[in-house]
Structure 1
Amino acid sequence: MAKRVETRPVEIGIVTRMNYETKTVGQIDGGEHEDQLVLPDYTAPSHRRRNIIIAVVVVLAIIGAVFAFKGGKKDAAAGPVVEQVPTVSVMVPGRKTVDRTISATGTIAARREMPVGVAGEGGMITRVLVEPGQWVAAGQVLATVDRSVQTETAASLAASVSVARSDETIAQAELDRAKQLVDRGFISKADLQRKAATRDAAAARVKVAQATLGEARARNGRLDIRAPAAGLVLTRGVESGQVVGAGTGVLFRMAADGQMEMRAQLSEADLAGLHAGARATVVPVGTTQGFPGQVWQVSPVIDPQSRQGIARIAVAYDPALRPGGFAAATIVGGATQAPLLPDSALQSDEKGSFVYIIGADDKAVRRDIKIGQVSDAGVTILSGLDGTERVVLSAGGFLAPGQKVKPVTKKAS
C-alpha cells in the first residue's frame, strides 16, 4: 500500500516505464520532499485500471470542450458567409435586316475571250504591230505577213484585166463597123452575129479577169493578222520572222471590249440562293481595293466531284484585274432577318461557337450558335438565337454554365 502524505499543490505527470510500473511523482514547491504513489502493475485488480482510464477520458473530454467553446466564439464573431455574385452586361439583340452575303474565291478572266490566228494562207511574219495591254479597233492590223509573191501575182492579174478590156474594146469596134456594112450589104447578118458574140466573149473575159484580180487582192488582204473586234490585247504569241499558217494556232488573245469577269467557285448550297443581277465586290489578291461587279451568269450544272459550281461576275476593266489572277469576292445574295451581336459576346471551343444567355433565375446558360456574315455592324447569328434572349456581352470567358450572376441590361445599338 502506498503511504499518502498531505502536501501543498503539486504538478502531476504520468510516467510509463517498460516494466509497466506507473508512479505519481510530486514536486513540493520550494522543497526537496517527494511523495510517491505507486500504482499496482497490470496484474493488479482490474477496477483500478478502469478508474485510471475513466480519468483520462474525462480529462480529454474537458480539453475538447474548451477548444470547441473557443472555436464557436470565433465563428460567431465572423458572422455568416455572403456569396459574391459577379455583375455582367447583357443585351437583348432582337432581329435586324442584314444583307445575306456569300464569300467566294476564283480567278479573273476575260468575259469574252477572242483567240486570233491566221485567216489566210499564211507566210512569214514581217511586223508585229501591237503588244499585250494595248487597245485595238475592229479590223486593226495586229501583224503583217510577207506578200512579195502574192503582190506579183496580183499585178499579173491586173494586167490580164487590162488585156481583156482591150480585147473587149476591139471586139466592140469591129461590131460597130459590121453594123454599118451590113446595111450596105457588104457582110451578112451571120457575120454580124459572130462579131457580136466575139464582143460578148471579150466582155466576159474582162469580168473573169476582174474577179480573179479581186480574189487575189482579197487573199493578200487576209495575209495580215487583224483584230476581229474592238478590245484589249491580252497575249501575243508570234514574233517577226516566224512562218505561220492555217495550222499554227493562236497568235493573239483578246478580251472583247475589254470586259473582265471573275469566275467564283461556290458550293451548291450557295448557288441555290443566288441569281443573275446580284451585286458583288471583287478584290484581287495582293490588293485591298474592291471593284464593283454584278453576277451575270450562274452555272446551271454542279461538278459531281467537287460539288461546286461557278458564278460569273462581270467587272469593268482595270489594270489591277489581270486575267488568270486569283481574287476573292463578296456577293450580296439578298436580305434576311437575324440577330446581330458584337464580337465580344462570342465564345468558341472545340465544340464550336457559343454565347452565354441569362435565364429567368439569373443563371448563365450556354447556347451553341452558328455565325454568318461578320461586318462592322456586328456578327450575324444564323441559328441558335431568336433575338429575345438576354445575351452576355463580355466576360463570357469567366463564366460557367449554371453560375449565378447579376445582369445589367444595355440597350442594343
Structure 2
Amino acid sequence: MNRFSSFTKRRAIDDPASPTRSKRRMAIIVGVILVIVALVAAAMFMGDGGENAPAAAAEGDAQQAQTVTVIVPGRSEVARTLTASGTLAARRDQPVGIAGQGGRVTQVLVDAGDWVRQGQLLASIDRSVQAQQAAQLRASLAAAQADADLARNELDRAAQLVERGFVSKADIDRKQAAYDAAVARVGVARAQLAATNAQIGQLDVRAPTSGLILDRNVEVGQVVSAGTPQLFRMARGGEMELRARLSQQDLTGLSVGLPATVIPTGTDRRIQGRIWQISPIIDPQSRQGEVRIAIPYDRAIRPGGFAEALIESGVTNAPLLPQSAVLADARGNYVYIVNGDNEVERRDVRVGTVDDRGVTIASGIDGSEAIVARAGSFLTPGQKVSPRRQAAREE
C-alpha cells in the first residue's frame, strides 16, 4: 500500500501535465531570465565604466593642460595709418548770383559739369530798358559837351577883346564861370552814362574764377533779382576735398601736409591728397574734430557723396599681433595671455591700425607678454594650459 502510494506520487510529479511540474518549470524559466538580465546589466555597467571613465579622465586632464600656441610680439616699427570717413565737397564752393537790379533771363550758356574760365559769360538778363537809358544819357553827354565847347569859345574871344578894352574884367569872370559850369555838366552826364553802363554789365552773369560748375538753378524766362538765391554753384579750380571727422585723441597725431588716400564709396579709385586744414575746435557733443583733405578733381568725386580716407600719420613703435590673437566682445577688444603659472588671463587692449601685417596694439600690453596666438575663443580665464611658443611673425 505504501509502495503503491509512493509510486503514484512519483508518477504524478514526472507527468508533464502535472501542475506541480509546470510550476517548477516556470520557476526555472523565471530564474534563468533573471540571471540573463543581471549578466547583461553587469556587462553594460562594466563596459561603460571601463571605456568612458578613462576617456572622461583623459578629457579632464586635457582640459586642465590644453596645448596652446603663444607668441611674445615685442615691439615693431609700424606705419601709423588712421582710417576716417566723411563727405566729399568742393574745397571752395562759390555761389554765383545776380549783382544788379535783375530782370528776365534771356539766355543760359552753361550747365552743371561744365568747366569755365574766369570772366566767362554764364547767363544774360534782358537789358532793353537799361539800353534806352544809356542812349538818353549819351545824348545828354553830347549836349553838355557842346555847351562846354561853346562856353570855351566865348571865353577865348572875350579874353582877346579885354586887351582892347571892349570887354570888362567882370565879363571875363562870368564867361569863365559859364565855361566851368558847362564842363561840370559834362562830367555829370559822363558819370551817369558810366553808371548805367555798369548796371548793364551787371546783367551779364559771369564766372568769378575758373572752375567747375556744380549746380545750375536758373532757366531762360525766369525773372531774377538781387534777392534771388544763387543761380550757379561752382568749385574754384575744380579743387575738391574730403571733410572727415576724427576723435580728439587721433587729431593730436596729425598735422597739415600729411599725405592721405581717399577712396570714394562705390568705386575702387584711390585718390592721393594731403591734409590742408585741421579744425581748431572739438564738437562738444561728439568729441570729434574735422580734418579737411585736399584732393584734385576726379570723375569719381561727386560733392555730397561719401568716402573713406587712409591718413599716414608717421611711424609708431608698438606690439604687432596676428588678427587671430585679438578677440572682441561687448566689453571691447582683448587678448589672452599665459602667466607664469601657465594660467590663461584676459587683458583688455586698444587696437590701433589693422592691415595685412596684422593688428597694432595701441595700449593694454607692452609686447613682453606670452599672447595666445589662436583658438583663444575656446579658452576661459584661469584655465591651465601647456604653452608652445612660436616666433612673433611667421614667414
Residues 113-262 of structure 1 correspond to what in structure 2 (within 5 A)? Answer: 113-262=93-242
Are 1:263 and 2:237 matched, yes or no?
A: no
2:372 pairs with 1:407: no
Q: Which runs of structure 2 are paired with 1:24-39 in the superposition (5 Å)? A: none
* 1:366 positional shift: 4.6
Q: Which has the larger share of helix?
A: 2
- Partner SS, residue 163 of structure 2: helix
| Alpha-carbon distance, 1:155 to partner | 1.2
Q: In 1, Cα distance between the equivalents of 2:327 and 2:247?
A: 27
Letter in 2 for 1:173: N
Equivalent in the alignment of 1:339: 319
The runs of 5 or more residues in structure 1 that have no matched partner are 1-73
1:301 aligns with 2:281: yes
Percent identity, please. Answer: 54
Distance, in Å, in 2 between the alignment partners of 1:310 and 1:288 is 24
- Residues 155-211 of structure 1 show CA distances to partners (whole Å, capped at 9, x for unaligned) of 111122212222222222222222333333333333233233222222222222111
User: Does 2:355 correspond to 1:375?
Assistant: yes
Give me the TM-score of the superposition, normalised by structure 1.
0.73
Q: In structure 2, how many angstroms separate the alpha carbons of the residues matched to 1:366 and 1:186?
A: 121
* Pairing 1:384–2:333 present: no
Task: State the distance in 2 between where 1:272 and 1:408 align.
Answer: 37
2: CA distance between counterparts of 1:342 and 1:172? 98
Q: Per-residue deviation at 1:340?
A: 0.6
CA drift at 1:406:
5.6
Output the amino acid matched with 2:129: V
Give 2:267's aligned residue: 287
Is this contact kept in 1: 2:338–2:387, CA < 8 A? no
Structure 2 distance, partners of 1:204, 1:366, is 94
Deviation at 1:329, TM superposition (A): 1.9
How do 1:40-51 residues align onto structure 2 when only pairs under 5 Å count? none
Separation in structure 1 between the aligned mates of residue 253 and residue 103 of structure 2, nearest angstrom: 53
Q: Deviations over 1:370-398 (max 9, x none)?
A: 32211011111223322123334334455
- Summarize the Cα distance change of 1:135–1:162 in structure 2 as closer, same or farther, 3 Å threshold: same
Quick one: distance in 2 between partners of 1:291 and 1:307? 28
Q: Which has the higher contact order (CA 8 A, sep 6+)?
A: 2
**What is the deviation of 1:411?**
5.5
Change (3 A) 1:192 1:349: closer
Change (3 A) 1:345 1:298: same
Q: Distance in 1 between matches of 2:278 and 2:175?
A: 73
Equivalent residues in 2 for 1:99-114 (5 A)? 99-114=79-94
User: Number of residues paired by the alignment?
Assistant: 337
Return the index of the structure with the highest Cα Rg.
1
In 2, distance between residues paired with 1:411 and 1:223? 72
Q: Following TM superposition, by how much is the alpha carbon of 1:109 offset from its aligned partner in structure 2, in angstroms?
A: 1.5
**Residues of 2 paired with 1:183 and 1:129: CA distance?**
67
8 A contact 2:70–2:387 mirrored in 1: no
Q: Is the 8 A contact 2:68 2:385 kept in 1?
A: no
**TM-superposition CA deviations, 1:102-132 (whole Å, max 9, x none):** 3222211222222111111111111111112
Corresponding position of 2:300: 320
Contact 1:113 1:255 in 2 (8 A): yes
Query: Alpha carbons of 1:349 and 1:173: their partners in 2 closer, same or farther (altered >3 Å)?
Result: closer
Q: Deviations over 1:274-323 (max 9, x none)?
A: 33333322222111222222222222333333333322222222222211
Distance 1:176 1:300 in 2: 72
2:20 maps to none
Paired residue for 2:21? none
TM-score (norm 2): 0.76
Equivalent position SS for 1:207: helix
Contact 2:274 2:295 survives alignment (8 Å): yes
Call closer, same or farther: CA 1:189–1:365 in 2, change over 3 Å.
closer
Q: Residue 47 of structure 1 corresponds to which residue in structure 2?
A: none
Counterpart Cα distance in 1 of 2:390 and 2:80:
29
Q: CA RMSD in A?
A: 2.9
Q: What whole-Å deviation, never above 9, does each CA across 1:34-71 have from its counterpart, x for those lacking one? A: xxxxxxxxxxxxxxxxxxxxxxxxxxxxxxxxxxxxxx
Looking at structure 1, the residues matched to 75 and 153 of structure 2 have their Cα atoms a distance apart, in angstroms, of 99
Cα contact 2:88–2:243 (8 A) shared by 1: yes
Q: 1:22: which partner in 2?
A: none
